[in-house]
Amino acid sequence: MNTEQMIGAISDPMVRELAMRGQTRTFPKNAVIINEGDRGDSLFVILAGKVKVYVSDDDGREMILDTYAAGDYVGEMSLDGRPRSASVMTLEPTTCAVVTRDELRAAIAQNPDVAMTLISTLIDRARIATDNVKNLALMDVYGRVARLLLSLAKEDAGKLVVPEKMTQQDIADRVGASRDMISRIFKDLTIGGYVTIENRQITINRKPPSRW
């Protein structure tokens, strides 16, 4: 698809309006398009591809906060002029419309509903962040894994399937645990008949218990 077609495919009219104001850029897989701690004044509307939002420490350990695909946007937290709060990396070749702060302000001045869309997204992401902090503080690693799988699973032909093909390291990064711990948990879940894994496709056969 060309740029006009990709923008036209965005379902939210306010996000579509933002994308039309941006400069189109294409990034290869594993490109870091936003660096945690950097200052920036642009929002990235994803037209095609997929990205992960993550934080990391000085030792290179990462925790993935979320993943986003076409029709989503990232980088809105930088629009207050403060340093970026997280990094963003492409998981596959990705095309974005890069919208500057000035263009965003112009869009809001012309159509206040754009601001309401941004506020709604910020509220949703704040709720998710609050839930993640609560789970990290109050749930053990198994509980976090079970919650992640159930939140990602979609019904497919009468089965609950995690559509995203995830490695054990991917899951470890999402729940803030070691890969060895995730390996042990999945061994137990598989032996118990709770999940089946084939070609990295996770199928939930029955709801895992809330605690192991």
Clarify whether residues 126 and 22 are in a common domain.
Answer: yes
| pTM assigned to the model | 0.70
- Across the range 71-94, mean pLDDT stands at 88
209 within a domain of the structure (yes/no): no
In a domain, 144, yes or no: yes
Burial class for 119, CB neighbours closer than 10 Å (0-12, 13-18, 19+): exposed
55-79: per-residue pLDDT in tens? 888 777 788 888 999 999 999 876 7
Phi/psi for 160 (5° steps) reads -90, 115
Whether 131 and 146 share a structural domain: no
- Looking at the structure, do residues 69 and 159 belong to the same domain, yes or no? no
Residues 87 and 184 in one domain: no
- List the domain range (segments joined by +) for residue 34: 3-136
pLDDT at 62: 83
Same domain, 110 and 154: no
State the average pLDDT over residues 178-191.
91
Predicted local confidence at residue 137, as pLDDT: 62
Query: How many structural domains compose the chain?
Result: 2
Which pLDDT does position 99 carry in this prediction? 95
Are 82 and 17 found together in one domain?
yes
- Name the band, by pLDDT with cuts 50, 70 and 90, for residue 41: confident
* pLDDT at residue 161 greater than cutoff 90: yes
Tell me, yes or no, whether 132 lies in a domain: yes
Average pLDDT, the chain: 89
Confidence at residue 138, expressed as pLDDT on a 0 to 100 scale: 54
Give, in order, the Cα–Cα distances in Å from 42 to each of 32, 34, 38, 212: 14, 10, 12, 44
What is the pLDDT averaged over residues 105-122? 90
pLDDT at 33 over 70: yes
- Please answer whether residues 87 and 35 qualify as being in contact, where contact means their C-beta atoms are separated by less than 8 angstroms: yes
Model confidence at 105: pLDDT above 60: yes
- Both 96 and 30 in a single domain? yes
Please tell me the predicted confidence (pLDDT) of residue 56. Answer: 85
